[in-house]
Copies of this chain bind each other. A is one copy, B any other.
């Protein structure tokens, strides 16, 4: 045993006791005849004092470098000048012994929350980056959340069942990572995009409450916040309806906030239909930490001679509270914001409702003050508020205004990372129409059950059929979602037909699950939550990368250990594979 105490636990009450600590040298400060060494471990930082009374020891302390690994023996003493920023700040160790357990080269960046190391350098030396307390807190949070998720689900009778990582490749959905099989030359495993198939099989097997904190894989071109491997809280239940699933996992989210963040949600989470979410927030994952819902002005603005609005399918506004005072510069910034290619609007109309009752607008010459006041009334704008108005194609305009609303939320400080606003979005459409291929696609997957009320419309009004599908959204981020699955063979056949599958193709792609369903499939449904995302939301972080110990970059590379990497030609030969890089060489 190299230590009797950690660097985070000594308090004033320990003064006078002899202790042994081990850790890393955070800092050495030489003050005349005294040298102060801050020793850090996972649990905290403790100050150790060396003085000239023990000259050999003093000299050894002065020779210490940053990040040396040391073992300290000494006596706990009350500090003369206490540090109230450290839990151990009331005490220090009067050193009696010092052993250098290992030296360290000078690290390429400082091991501090505010480090001088840039992103790339920190990822290359991730093992040093992980020493920083702010990174460590994220991994501690991740551990605690995983533990509490398991504690909750175990208490509800769920069984965690591991499903395979080497699975069958399926052509539907995102691109699979594949693994060549040496023992079965020419054949490949796939890494699972989710345990969907296996969890539905487990329901057929009668494991009516299943969960797994499962690694999933997608070979996608990586966007800013995607990882080729990610972790999912995957769940499925039998003999349940939508309400049962929602209650169970609302309970899980509440449990986590309670035991991890000390936040007690006593009320049910609000619910919103997909239609309302799109109409009021232009998004299927609205951030409801703040208001500013959309108000449609189309009827009020049409036929008044302003061509932009006359021609537009939709004119829609938000009322930004207290923003009538915005300067020309601020308004120009907002106009620039909506015109950025990522947002894509042609321009922005604004109306200021001044505190004195007067009205100013960028479209003042097309509309009378009374007309503009009518807009304000409909939008619930009060004196001092700013109305921001977009016009155009309905779907596109809603998405643009959604971006603007979030931007206004940021500007007004309404998106506090310490405030959490969960929301269920329900009644998703079952189908999405694709203009290009002129056919319907399943919005979730082909096993999602239609809303029983809408089954009669499946053929007559396909696009309007609602799914028994639900998403849980927190602060404008999709935390997860799920659905009740189809367990009736006839209904499943009808779905495949609507999705344009021939019976042969349906059999080829999904035959395996459908065969299993012949032997008594129970009604079932479930949900999956993005675990990385969940942790990052609770931590108040923007990126999932910060809550993953060893993440990959946007090219799917681990820059720390330089993987992926070429492999031995002998290994390729064993796998009966050849590289086919000709195109590259041209």
In the complex, identify which listed stretch (A238-246, A262-270, A272-280, A455-463) lies at the interface while the others stay far away.
A238-246
Q: A187 and B564: CB pair below 8 A?
A: yes
Q: B164 and A206: CB pair below 8 A?
A: no
Q: Please name the residue on chain B nearest to A570 by beta carbon.
A: B171
Selected contact of A183 from candidates B198, B209, B556, B574, CB within 8 Å: B556
Q: A577 and B576: CB pair below 8 A?
A: no
Q: B584 and A576: CB pair below 8 A?
A: yes
A219 contacts which chain B residues (CB < 8 A)?
A: 182-183
A177 contacts which chain B residues (CB < 8 A)?
A: 166, 179
A160 lies within 8 A of chain B by Cβ: yes
In the complex, identify which listed stretch (A85-93, A396-404, A544-552) lies at the interface while the others stay far away.
A544-552
Give Cα A244–Cα B164 distance, bound, in whole angstroms. Answer: 34
A189 contacts which chain B residues (CB < 8 A)?
A: 563-564
A304 lies within 8 A of chain B by Cβ: no
A358 lies within 8 A of chain B by Cβ: no
Q: A102 and B561: CB pair below 8 A?
A: no
Q: B168 and A563: CB pair below 8 A?
A: yes
Q: Please name the residue on chain B nearest to A70 by beta carbon.
A: B520
A224 lies within 8 A of chain B by Cβ: no
Q: A206 and B578: CB pair below 8 A?
A: no
Selected contact of A101 from candidates B1, B171, B522, CB within 8 Å: B522
| A165 CB to nearest chain B CB (Å) | 5
A154 lies within 8 A of chain B by Cβ: yes
Q: Find residues 531-586 in chain A having any chain B CB closer than 8 Å to their own CB.
A: 548-550, 552, 555-558, 560-568, 571-581, 583-584
Q: Please name the residue on chain B nearest to A159 by beta carbon.
A: B143
Selected contact of A565 from candidates B127, B168, B231, CB within 8 Å: B168
Give Cα A161–Cα B461 distance, bound, in whole angstroms. Answer: 49
In the complex, identify which listed stretch (A340-348, A380-388, A436-444, A511-519) lies at the interface while the others stay far away.
A511-519
Q: A240 and B2: CB pair below 8 A?
A: yes
In the complex, identify which listed stretch (A27-35, A103-111, A365-373, A411-419) lies at the interface while the others stay far away.
A103-111
Q: B575 and A178: CB pair below 8 A?
A: yes
A217 lies within 8 A of chain B by Cβ: yes
Q: Please name the residue on chain B nearest to A571 by beta carbon.
A: B178
| A82 CB to nearest chain B CB (Å) | 25
Give Cα A104–Cα B204 distance, bound, in whole angstroms. Answer: 11
Give Cα A146–Cα B222 distance, bound, in whole angstroms. Answer: 33
Contact with B along A117-129 (1 / 0, CB 8 A): 0000000011110
A446 lies within 8 A of chain B by Cβ: no
Q: B188 and A550: CB pair below 8 A?
A: no
Q: A182 and B188: CB pair below 8 A?
A: no
Q: A41 and B520: CB pair below 8 A?
A: no
Q: Please name the residue on chain B nearest to A579 by beta carbon.
A: B186
Give Cα A568–Cα B167 distance, bound, in whole angstroms. Answer: 16
Known: A143-B160, A520-B68. A206 touches B130 (CB 8 A): yes
Q: Please name the residue on chain B nearest to A166 by beta carbon.
A: B229
Contact with B along A155-194 (1 / 0, CB 8 A): 0000111111111110100011111111111111111000
Give Cα A468–Cα B57 distance, bound, in whole angstroms. Answer: 31
A285 contacts which chain B residues (CB < 8 A)?
A: none
Known: A130-B205, A579-B576. A566 touches B487 (CB 8 A): no
Q: A102 and B139: CB pair below 8 A?
A: no
Selected contact of A229 from candidates B165, B175, B555, B556, CB within 8 Å: B165
Q: B565 and A162: CB pair below 8 A?
A: no
Q: A520 and B563: CB pair below 8 A?
A: no
A488 lies within 8 A of chain B by Cβ: yes
A228 lies within 8 A of chain B by Cβ: yes
Q: A576 and B565: CB pair below 8 A?
A: no
The contact sample of 13 A-B pairs, CB cut-off 8 A, is A103-B520, A125-B519, A127-B201, A162-B215, A162-B549, A165-B191, A166-B229, A169-B571, A178-B180, A183-B556, A198-B549, A577-B577, A578-B580
Top 4 A-B residue pairs of the complex, sorted by shortest distance between their CB atoms: A168-B563, A104-B520, A130-B205, A2-B239
Known: A104-B520, A168-B561, A183-B219. 17 other contacts (CB 8 A): A1-B243, A40-B206, A105-B518, A105-B519, A142-B162, A143-B160, A147-B154, A168-B562, A168-B563, A175-B574, A181-B564, A185-B584, A202-B549, A512-B562, A576-B581, A576-B584, A578-B579
